[in-house]
Structure 1
């Protein structure tokens, strides 16, 4: 029996174009963050991970909630934006199901090993979230009143409807949201990496186009430039830094956020002259 190799389809697949190596890296970072939380005595998971020699749990972390929350956000860098979005959403009491739906939406294009319940539990342990009723009362202080039912003339007590539990940001959680200033982080990044301003401008311009930019397109626009040869850097290095400043977001392609558009305005006077024949991408305005 012979095989006809002409029947194989060797054309590029659209699925390959959507492959994003940084997304895989984010999963690894999530796993590393989980290990870090378990290992760091001051982290939200520290009290669970560190036990004394007799097997008893270690004393609870008595640091201020603000400090524990900051530690959690630093340890969970890949989930920082999701954690802060949860806190911002919970400035008023929000039903657990509503918060879960929000997290599912936020992580739709950015898979994580952490579920909504996991993330909320970490925020609660850090002192950034608390469980309350719909009117803001501590949920633990409210008990469901039993109902009296009559069956064949005999009265019985039946469990009442459970109290709806909501999540509410604490003062420490609110402070964390208010202290988060991604535009300032981006400005600091551009000041620190001044030698690579043309690279940052090029990436932001690519991602500002309609539909954003695929990872291979960004790689092709950056990796051969003389600016990134010594020391050797690749496009994902810069994309990762921009994402951590909330300037880029992954939505099946890299797209600019409002922070990213502000970054393009900061870089308006930067002259981008790619080396080695790398073509400068057209901006969204130029394409129109």
Structure 2
């Protein structure tokens, strides 16, 4: 059993068209670029053995909910907005399944994912961030044993009468609520910009290009930045910086373009502040 098995990450529907890279499909890829470059959606390191994966999954099952949730969010970084949106919606209030599904579909419109809404909810359940409940907040697993068909006798003939299952609802757990409360995208963005001063001008260019009405395309970002001297050693690409900003809520992919958010606009102010502080120190 792997960690993927634990979170039930098996895709159940075809991958939707991937927008950001559509504009670069004809470009040549640098096959020697490091994983960190943004060219590849892979993590560095060797593949673990089957025994190592099984051991990790078993340890994760026994881990506290907070650790399991953190592992899930790390594993599903590109779906962070969707997962967090589910927890926010169900935080402190039981939400019926159909409303949660509708919310997830809206979030997926600009955050492509091969996972269904049910997949995502159950991943959060297994991580300990979400509960599957009835309308009165009872754990659904507690009533599943009462849903067996009933035996009834009509005119001397025995029949199995199906039992109407109660509506499935969702409720964020206390551990999930802590994740919602702790999410501080502005602080995460500032930390990113503080920790990568050598690329701060790249982040600024990306944000500025995405600021006009209509945003900008990945192809335009690549044309403007991929040959920047700062991205040569180690080799980096514009996609990496757009993704980092999007992961910190500074950009969003909408209507086939990268667009700046309110947090991204604040990011430009943060960059100006950090640059000014460095100049003062000099």
Q: After TM superposition, is the score higher than 0.5?
A: yes
Q: Spell out, residue by residue over 1:67-108, the C-alpha distance to the aligned partner (whole angstroms, 9 max, x if none).
A: 111111112112122111111111111122222222222112
SS at match of 2:74: helix
1:175 to 173, 178, 183: 178
1:162 matched to 2:165? The reply is yes
Q: TM-score, normalised by structure 2?
A: 0.71
Cα-Cα RMSD:
3.5
Residue matched to 2:227 = 224
Residue matched to 1:253 = 257
Distance 1:112 1:219 in 2: 23
1:230 shift after superposition: 3.7
Matches within 5 A, 1:63-74: 63-74=63-74
Residue matched to 2:140 = 139
1:85 matched to 2:88? The reply is no
Matches within 5 A, 1:41-80: 46-47=57-58, 61-80=61-80
**Contact 1:247/1:260 (8 A) holds in 2:** yes
Identify, as 1 or 2, the structure richer in helix: 2
Q: Spell out, residue by residue over 1:169-195, the C-alpha distance to the aligned partner (whole angstroms, 9 max, x if none).
A: 101111111122221111111111112
Distance 2:249 2:20 in 1: 23
Distance 1:151 1:242 in 2: 66
Residue matched to 2:202 = 199
Distance 1:210 1:18 in 2: 21
1:208 shift after superposition: 1.3
Q: TM-score, normalised by structure 1?
A: 0.69
Distance 1:74 1:154 in 2: 57
**Contact 2:194/2:274 (8 A) holds in 1:** no
Consecutive unaligned residues of structure 1, counting only runs of 5 or more, are: 1-15, 48-58, 272-288
Q: Spell out, residue by residue over 1:250-270, the C-alpha distance to the aligned partner (whole angstroms, 9 max, x if none).
A: 112111122212101212457
Moved more, 260-269 or 193-202: 260-269
Q: 1:231 to 1:150 in 2, by over 3 A?
A: closer
Distance 1:64 1:171 in 2: 13
1:244 to 237, 247, 259: 247
**Contact 2:65/2:127 (8 A) holds in 1:** yes
1:129 shift after superposition: 0.9
Distance 1:204 1:64 in 2: 38
Q: Count how many residue pairs are aligned between Structure 1 and Structure 2.
A: 237
Distance 1:109 1:206 in 2: 19
Larger Rg computed on CA atoms: 1
SS at match of 1:136: coil
Residue matched to 2:97 = 96
Distance 2:216 2:79 in 1: 22
Consecutive unaligned residues of structure 2, counting only runs of 5 or more, are: 1-18, 26-34, 276-282
**Contact 1:207/1:255 (8 A) holds in 2:** yes
Distance 1:220 1:60 in 2: 43
Q: 1:204 to 1:268 in 2, by over 3 A?
A: same
Matches within 5 A, 1:148-159: 158-159=161-162
